[in-house]
């Protein structure tokens, strides 16, 4: 366990050191720095003191603005002095007074404010996961994850923004939502789980997610307690919707289940469906069923099942958050049993093979707007 932890620390160190002079990676480097322990921060600052680049000063000054530990602040000033003696132009930051130190002591005993949201899939077959952690009074570090099928976690951005700015982003997303595109405030442990499963598929951002997990463990009791999606309370008179009704719901309007080799598989399916010579319809249907069943056992699809299950869990929670309890209950019942889950997969495979692209013309209202696209620069 200790060895694994040290490896994670090394990857964070390496990421910050390699990109210390990259202005495009400032926010990412700052967010990674905040996840380190006091000893780790000092070790990293010592490494940054070896730099000969003026760009490194920009990173160190921004770290100084966010840091509140008296010893770390003192060490940062020492590092800046070392850089200055090398002939690097340095603007020494002002010393911070007692209020910042007192705030740090208070924060150490309390949870940070953490908020998280998830969306369903839009026209481009992408969903978004937002996690916001208050790192300073009325200031949040917002993690924005973009997830797709079959790719998994495609993008992960980290942005420090004000409390008001974050509220404006959430309100703007809510305003843009339609009956087909929805947003749900979700437990932070569940949102993290979705990001982690997406990362397991794409193999992207593992060190960032490990750093995020460490931060959430330290500052969120809700994250430490976990969340059980399968045991949420529903009214007693609610009956579970069947899978046809669930997957035909407007929340699934733009959801596409694609896999590697899909185009080739669809061509084979269409050849079965429309044979060159006359074949009785019942034989065609039998061949289609056998073909779909064989696809469900393919490695290209089996490898996606954990990710697909997580996505369906996200939909189950979205149904619950929007008080569509019959859909939540029906989807959860299917996810609990392997046989029922396989039936869901068979349904999705058939639906995708039968899907015709012209059914869904592009509409800008059918996509989730990137929440940071129109965001004002952070000050």
Predicted confidence (pLDDT) at residue 241 exceeds the cutoff of 60:
yes
Summarize the confidence of residues 21-43 as an average pLDDT. 73
Summarize the confidence of residues 268-282 as an average pLDDT. 89
Per-residue model confidence as pLDDT tens digits over 354-373 = 887 544 444 444 445 455 45
pLDDT > 90 in the chain, percent: 33
d(CA 229, CA 16): 36
pLDDT confidence of residue 242: 92
Question: Is residue 44 very low, low, confident or very high in pLDDT (cuts 50, 70, 90)?
Answer: confident
pLDDT confidence of residue 322: 93
Question: Is residue 97 very low, low, confident or very high in pLDDT (cuts 50, 70, 90)?
Answer: very low
pLDDT confidence of residue 24: 66
Give the closest residue to 44 by CA, choosing from 27, 70, 19.
19
pLDDT confidence of residue 358: 45
d(CA 178, CA 169): 16
For the chain, which residues make up each domain, given as ranges? 2-108, 114-229, 243-359
H/E element holding 196?
helix 188-202
d(CA 42, CA 76): 8
pLDDT confidence of residue 65: 75
pLDDT confidence of residue 289: 93
Summarize the confidence of residues 248-276 as an average pLDDT. 91
Angle between helices 188-202 and 206-219 (to 10 degrees): 160
Q: How many CB atoms lie within 10 A of CB 48?
A: 22
Predicted confidence (pLDDT) at residue 122 exceeds the cutoff of 60:
yes
Prediction pTM value: 0.67
Summarize the confidence of residues 256-274 as an average pLDDT. 91
d(CA 216, CA 114): 8
**Do residues 336 and 220 lie in contact, with contact meaning Cβ atoms separated by under 8 Å?**
no
Predicted confidence (pLDDT) at residue 321 exceeds the cutoff of 90:
yes
What mean pLDDT value characterizes the chain? Answer: 80
199 or 135: which leads in pLDDT: 199
Question: Is residue 108 very low, low, confident or very high in pLDDT (cuts 50, 70, 90)?
Answer: very low
Question: Is residue 160 very low, low, confident or very high in pLDDT (cuts 50, 70, 90)?
Answer: confident
pLDDT confidence of residue 218: 85
- Reading the block at residue 168, the tokens are 């404006």
pLDDT confidence of residue 355: 84
pLDDT confidence of residue 168: 82
pLDDT confidence of residue 207: 87
Predicted confidence (pLDDT) at residue 112 exceeds the cutoff of 80:
no
Summarize the confidence of residues 238-265 as an average pLDDT. 91
């Amino acid at each position: 366990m200790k060895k694994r932890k040290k490896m994670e620390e090394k990857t964070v160190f390496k990421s910050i050191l390699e990109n210390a002079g990259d202005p495009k990676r400032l926010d990412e480097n700052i967010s990674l720095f905040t996840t380190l322990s006091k000893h780790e921060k000092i070790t990293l600052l010592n490494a940054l003191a070896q730099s000969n680049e003026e760009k490194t000063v920009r990173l160190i000054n921004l770290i100084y603005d966010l840091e509140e530990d008296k010893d770390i602040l003192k060490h940062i000033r020492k590092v800046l002095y070392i850089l200055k003696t090398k002939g690097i132009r340095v603007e020494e930051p002002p010393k911070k007074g007692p209020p910042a130190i007192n705030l740090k002591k208070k924060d150490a005993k309390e949870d940070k404010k953490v908020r998280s949201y998830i969306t369903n899939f839009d026209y481009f077959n992408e969903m978004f996961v937002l996690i916001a952690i208050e790192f300073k009074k009325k200031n949040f570090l917002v993690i924005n994850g973009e997830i797709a099928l079959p790719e998994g976690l495609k993008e992960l951005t980290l942005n420090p923004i004000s409390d008001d700015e974050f509220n404006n982003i959430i309100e703007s997303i809510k305003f843009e939502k339609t009956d087909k595109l929805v947003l749900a405030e979700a437990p932070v442990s569940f949102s993290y789980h979705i990001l982690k499963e997406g990362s397991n598929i794409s193999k992207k951002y593992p060190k960032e997610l490990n750093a995020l997990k460490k931060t959430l463990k330290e500052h969120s009791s809700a994250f430490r307690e976990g969340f059980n999606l399968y045991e949420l309370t529903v009214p007693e008179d609610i009956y579970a919707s069947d899978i046809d009704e669930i997957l035909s719901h407007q929340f699934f309007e733009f959801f596409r289940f694609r896999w590697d080799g899909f185009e080739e598989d669809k061509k084979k399916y269409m050849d079965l469906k429309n044979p060159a010579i006359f074949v009785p319809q019942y034989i065609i249907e039998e061949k289609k069923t056998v073909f779909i069943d064989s696809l469900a056992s393919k490695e290209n699809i089996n490898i996606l099942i954990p990710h697909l299950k997580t996505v369906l869990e996200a939909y189950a929670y979205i149904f619950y958050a929007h008080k569509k309890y019959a859909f939540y209950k029906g989807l959860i019942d299917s996810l609990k049993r392997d046989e029922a889950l396989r039936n869901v997969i068979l349904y999705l495979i058939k639906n995708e093979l039968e899907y015709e692209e012209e059914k869904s013309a592009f509409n800008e209202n059918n996509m989730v707007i990137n929440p940071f696209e129109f965001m004002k620069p952070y000050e």
